[in-house]
């Protein structure tokens, strides 16, 4: 007899998680949702990027934060955990973010030197901004009628003003310590950020295990909040 249960017809569900700072907060939540990674997942020396879960029905991909959104949007992973900053930057139509996990809380802000240097050039409505988030940044300044030239950096944005690369930065802020240590002040909050459970829309429609996973994360998040 042929077994046509969803898990057999679809193969293991792939769940993508960011390898950076969200992970420590995400793992207890994943475990409450029944997604318990194999021991090797916790071994920092292990060079594997794909891990089994203890039920043997899922695979966990450990990738860079921005890449979680890309894997899920293209259906290479069916679900994952990522910051709302990343969701907003990509704006992938194939991503659905049904659960706010309440972890990874921070904000995306515009910052400038304590003693601002005028790096505008040409005309007064054109400025340079260093950021890992060029799309959110352009949209933010456009709304104010300012044309921002965004210079994409992948980290250490805080060095841009003092080195003359850009007059302002758009970066994540939590305690504000990084800005302070680098002689910068927060000028404007663009968005509040928390981490979300994301799923691929097509997978949600075609694979019942994805909807079940969403419910498990919803319950795990409610239990955490209670
Ligand atoms: N200071 C912070 N406080 C709270 N959450 C943060 C903070 N910084 C980043 N985050 C959240 O964690 C996510 C991943 O940030 P992280 O710093 O791990 O990225 P990263 O390690 O720089 O990424 P990568 O190395 O992949 O470029 C961000 O997208 C954001 O949602
Ligand atoms: O307001 P704070 O509490 O100081 O946090 C802000 C810092 O946290 C993030 O960087 P992260 O530490 O993740 O390192 P990164 O530069 O590798 O992204 C962000 O890019 C800021 O640099």
Residue 180, domain CATH: 3.40.190.10
* Predicted local confidence at residue 81, as pLDDT: 98
* Predicted local confidence at residue 3, as pLDDT: 39
* Predicted local confidence at residue 26, as pLDDT: 98
Q: Within a domain: residue 25?
A: yes
Q: If you take atom 15 of ligand 2, which residue's CA is the nearest one? A: 155
Same domain, yes or no: 143 and 174:
yes
3-state secondary structure of 78: coil
- Residue 21 CB less than 6 A away from ligand 2: yes
Strands 126-131 and 168-173: parallel
3-state secondary structure of 90: helix
Q: Within a domain: residue 136?
A: yes
φ and ψ at residue 35, rounded to 5 degrees:
-105, 90
**100: Cα within 13 Å, side-chain hemisphere:** 8
C-alpha distance from residue 158 to each of 6, 12, 162, 172 (Å): 48, 41, 8, 11
Same domain, yes or no: 205 and 164:
no
Same domain, yes or no: 21 and 97:
yes
* Predicted local confidence at residue 125, as pLDDT: 58
**192: Cα within 13 Å, side-chain hemisphere:** 4
* Predicted local confidence at residue 124, as pLDDT: 54
3-state secondary structure of 216: helix
Same domain, yes or no: 17 and 69:
yes
- Residue 171 CB less than 6 A away from ligand 1: no
Distance of CA 160 from the midpoint of ligand 1 (Å): 19
Q: Within a domain: residue 70?
A: yes
CA distance 199 to 46: 27
Same domain, yes or no: 210 and 144:
no
The total number of structural domains in the chain stands at 2
Distance of CA 64 from the midpoint of ligand 1 (Å): 9
Same domain, yes or no: 187 and 198:
no
Q: If you take atom 10 of ligand 1, which residue's CA is the nearest one? A: 104
Same domain, yes or no: 59 and 148:
no
Q: Look at the block and give the residue holding tokens 């994301």.
A: 198
Same domain, yes or no: 143 and 188:
yes
Task: Give the closest ligand to the alpha carbon of residue 171.
Answer: 2
Same domain, yes or no: 75 and 173:
no
Distance of CA 21 from the midpoint of ligand 1 (Å): 6
Q: If you take atom 2 of ligand 1, which residue's CA is the nearest one? A: 174
Minimum-distance ligand 1 atom for the alpha carbon of 178: 1
ipTM here: 0.95
- Residue 9 CB less than 6 A away from ligand 2: no
Domain encompassing residue 119: 106-193
Q: What residues have CB less than 8 Å from 201, skipping those under 6 apart?
A: 93, 94, 95, 96
Q: Along the chain (226 residues), what's the average pLDDT of each consecutive run of 10 residues?
A: 46 95 96 97 92 96 97 98 98 98 98 76 71 98 94 97 95 98 98 98 98 98 79
Q: Within a domain: residue 168?
A: yes
Same domain, yes or no: 160 and 58:
no
Same domain, yes or no: 14 and 99:
yes
Mutate to test the pocket of ligand 1, among 26, 62, 63, 65 (most ligand atoms within 8 A of CB): 65
* Predicted local confidence at residue 226, as pLDDT: 66
């Amino acid at each position: 007899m042929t077994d046509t249960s969803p898990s057999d017809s679809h193969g293991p569900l792939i769940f993508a998680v960011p390898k950076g700072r969200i992970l420590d907060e995400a793992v207890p939540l994943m475990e409450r949702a029944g997604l318990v990674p194999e021991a090797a997942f916790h071994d920092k020396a292990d060079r594997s990027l794909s891990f089994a879960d203890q039920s043997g029905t899922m695979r966990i991909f450990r990738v860079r934060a921005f890449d979680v959104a890309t894997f899920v949007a293209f259906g290479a992973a069916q679900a994952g955990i990522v910051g709302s900053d990343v969701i907003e930057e990509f704006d992938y139509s194939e991503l659905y973010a049904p659960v706010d996990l309440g972890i990874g809380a921070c904000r995306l802000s515009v910052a400038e030197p304590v003693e601002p240097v005028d790096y505008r050039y040409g005309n007064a409505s054109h400025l340079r901004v260093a950021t890992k988030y060029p799309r959110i940044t352009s949209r933010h300044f456009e709304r104010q009628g300012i044309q921002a030239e965004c210079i994409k950096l992948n980290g250490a944005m805080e060095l841009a003003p003092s080195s003359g690369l850009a007059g302002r930065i758009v970066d994540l802020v939590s305690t504000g310590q990084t800005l302070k240590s680098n002689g910068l002040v927060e000028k404007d909050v663009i968005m509040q950020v928390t981490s979300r459970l994301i799923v691929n829309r097509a997978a949600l429609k075609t694979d019942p295990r994805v909807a079940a996973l969403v419910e498990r994360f919803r319950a795990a998040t409610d239990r955490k909040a209670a």
